[in-house]
A and B are shown apart, each in its own frame.
Chain A
Amino acid sequence: MPESEALHASHRLEYPYARSVGPVIGAFLTGLRDGRLLGVRGSGGSVIVPPTEYDPDTGDDTGEVVEVGPGGVVESWAWVPDPLPKHPSDRPFAWALIRLDGADTALLHAVDSGGPDRLATGDRVTVRFRPAAERIGSMADIEAFVPEGGAA
C-alpha cells in the first residue's frame, strides 16, 4: 500500500491591532518622547517606574506623576554577548534592572557598558535618549543606559 501523504496548505493570519494606553502609561510614553522619565506615586507613597494606573500591591489608584532619573543604580543584569536582530543594540549589551533616582521600583532596559567586565551590580548609569527628531513615544526612545561618567 502506498504511504498516505498529509495535505499541506499555507495559512497566513494577519491583521492589525491598536492600543489605547490610558492616562498614566500615556503620560509616561509622552514623557519619553519629550526626553523625560516619569513615574507615579503609589498609594503607600512609593514611586513606581514605569508608572501604572493602580498600585500593584493594593489595587488602589495611583496619584501624582513625578519626574525621576536621569541617573540610577543597576540592581541586576545579564550580559548578551550575541545580540539578535530584534535586540535594542547590534553590539553586545546588558539587560538590566535599573532603579532610577527618585524611584522605588526598577525599570528593565539595555545598558551599553562596552563589556561585562565594565558593569557591576550597584553601578550608577544614566539614560541615553535617541535624538529628539527620532523619538515617537516608545520604550525604544531610550537607546540605552550608559555608565555614569561615560566609561563605555
Chain B
Amino acid sequence: MAERCAVIGVGQTHHKAKRDDVSIAGLVREAAKMALADADLTWTDIDAVVIGKAPDMFEGNMMPELYLAPALGAVGKPMFRVHTAGSVGGSTALVAAHLISSGIHKRVLTVAYEKQSDSDAMWALSVPQPFAAPLLAGAGGYFAPHIRAYMRRSGAPEYIGRMVAVKDRRNAMRNPYAHLHIADIDMKMVEESMMLWDPLRYLEACPSSDGAAAMVLSSEDALSGQYPPAWIHGMAMRSEPTMFAGRDQVNPRAGRDCSADVYAQAGITDPRRQIDVAEVYVPFSWYEPMWLENLGFCDLGDGWKLTESGATAFDGDIPWNTSGGVLSSNPIGASGMLRFLEVAMQVRGQAGEHQIGGARVALGQAYGGGSQFFSMWVVGSDKP
C-alpha cells in the first residue's frame, strides 16, 4: 500500500426484521451520521462516498446509489457503487480504502445496506432460469449440499453446527445492535427447531434483517475522532466462477488465495497465534469450521475440532464473531461491512461488552455468491 489508511469512524443501525420507521435513505443516514460523529466530522469533511449493497433486484431499486447521493452528502463529490453479492460490504470498504491508499482522497465515507423487509431476497435468489436446474429455495438450499460434503470429508459430528449457532447467538447478547437476542438459546432449542435445508435447522441459519453499516476511512495526515485509528495492515479480494469442473465448493481456491494475499501484506504466517479476534461471514452455522480451514487457522479437516474445543468462543484463544456475526444480523449488503467494521472496533477498543481485551490484530472476512467472492482485511492498533 502506498499511503497508510485507517478507520477513524464507525456506525451501524439497530438491525431488525423490519425497520418500518425509516426509508432506505433514512436507514443509510442513520449509520453514516453515527460514523461521522465517531470521527468528529461532518458531511463537508468527506471527499468521496463509496456505497455497496446486494443485487438491485432485492428491493427492486435500480442503481440506488443515484438517488442516495444527496442523502449521503455526496452532491458534487465522487460516488461509487460496488457490487459483489454477499461479500459486497467488505469489497465496498476495500474500494473506499483504495481511494485513500492510492493517495487520491484524504477522507472517504463508505456505506452498505440492505432493507430486506422491502424485498424478498429468498425468492430473488431462487429465480428459475430457462434450461437450467433450479437452485432451490434461497441461499441455504444452495449451501446445504456443500455442508454435507464438508461433514463427509472431515467426519465432523452433527452437533458442531448447533454449537456455532449457540455460540454466536450468545455473543449477540453482548451486542445491542444485533437483530437476534435469544437469551435462553441452547443446543436443545437449536436441535428442536425446524429442519430447513438438511442438515441446516432454522436456528442454524441467519435472519433476514434491515440494516446499514458505515465507516469513515482516512489517510495518515487527516486522522480525527475520539478513538485511536484502526490501521489497515492488508486488504485483498478474489473471485471465481460459481461452477466449473473440478471446483472445490467446500474450500474454494479464491478464499485460500485471498487469505494468503492479505496475510502476506500483514506479515501473518500463523493466523491462529497472530490474529487476536476475527469476524468471519458465517450465515449458516457450518461455515465456521469450513472457513477456519479455508482461512488457514488449522489444517484441513480440523476446523470442527477447533469449534468443538471452544477455541472460537468468546473466551477462546481465537474468538470468532464476538458481535454475534451474520447468524445474529443479516442485512445482506451490510453484513460484510459489519465484519470489517467490528474488527476495526476491536482494535480501537470500542466494542463495549463484546470487546476482546487487548485485541491488537484482527481479521475481517466476507464472502458472497456461491462461495465465489471473497474480501478480507487485517486491521491493527499499531501503525503498519
**Which A residues fall within an 8 A CB radius of B?**
7, 9-11, 13, 15-25, 52-54, 56-60
Contact = CB atoms under 8 A, between A and B. Distances in A.
A19 B120 CA distance: 12
Contacts of B43: 58-60
Nearest to A10: B130
6 contacts: A15-B123, A17-B120, A20-B115, A22-B23, A53-B29, A59-B74
A97 B213 CA distance: 36
Contact of B70 (A7, A21, A52): A52
A56 B131 contact: no
A17 B117 contact: no
B127 A13 contact: yes
B195 to A, nearest CB: 25
Given A17-B118, A19-B118, A56-B75, 11 more contacts: A7-B131, A10-B130, A15-B123, A16-B120, A18-B118, A20-B23, A53-B25, A53-B29, A54-B71, A56-B70, A59-B72
Interface stretch (B1-9, B14-22, B344-352): B14-22
Interface in B39-95: 43-44, 59-60, 70-75
Nearest to B122: A15
A125 B273 CA distance: 73
Contacts of B117: 18, 20
Contact of A59 (B19, B70, B120, B123): B70
B210 to A, nearest CB: 8
Interface in B130-156: 130-131
Contacts of B70: 52, 54, 56-57, 59
A57 B74 CA distance: 9
A20 B19 contact: yes
A20 B75 contact: no
B129 interface: yes
Contacts of A9: 130-131
Contacts of A25: 23
Nearest to B19: A20
B130 A22 contact: no
Contacts of B72: 59
B187 interface: no
Interface of B: 18-26, 29, 43-44, 59-60, 70-75, 115, 117-120, 123-124, 127-131
B267 to A, nearest CB: 39
A85 B59 CA distance: 26
A122 B327 CA distance: 58
B23 A21 contact: yes
A15 to B, nearest CB: 5
A54 B23 CA distance: 12
A97 to B, nearest CB: 18
Contacts of B44: 58
A133 to B, nearest CB: 26
A59 B73 contact: yes
A11 B134 CA distance: 13
Nearest to A59: B73
A80 B60 CA distance: 29
A20 B17 CA distance: 13
B170 to A, nearest CB: 31
Contacts of B21: 20, 22-23
A17 B27 CA distance: 17
Contact of B71 (A7, A15, A17, A53): A53
B22 A15 contact: no
A8 to B, nearest CB: 8
* Cβ-closest 10 pairs across A and B: A59-B73, A22-B23, A9-B130, A56-B70, A59-B43, A17-B60, A22-B26, A20-B20, A15-B123, A22-B22
A2 B59 CA distance: 45
Contacts of B127: 13
- Best-surrounded residue of A13, A18, A21 (most CB of chain B within 10 A): A18
B19 A17 contact: no
A128 B381 CA distance: 62
B26 A23 contact: yes
A20 B29 CA distance: 15
A54 B44 CA distance: 14
Given A9-B131, A58-B43, A53 B23 contact: yes
Given A11-B130, A13-B127, A17-B60, A59 B26 contact: no
A56 to B, nearest CB: 4
Contacts of B118: 17-20
A25 to B, nearest CB: 6
A58 B124 contact: no
A120 B34 CA distance: 47
Nearest to A11: B130
Contacts of B123: 15
Contacts of A57: 70, 75
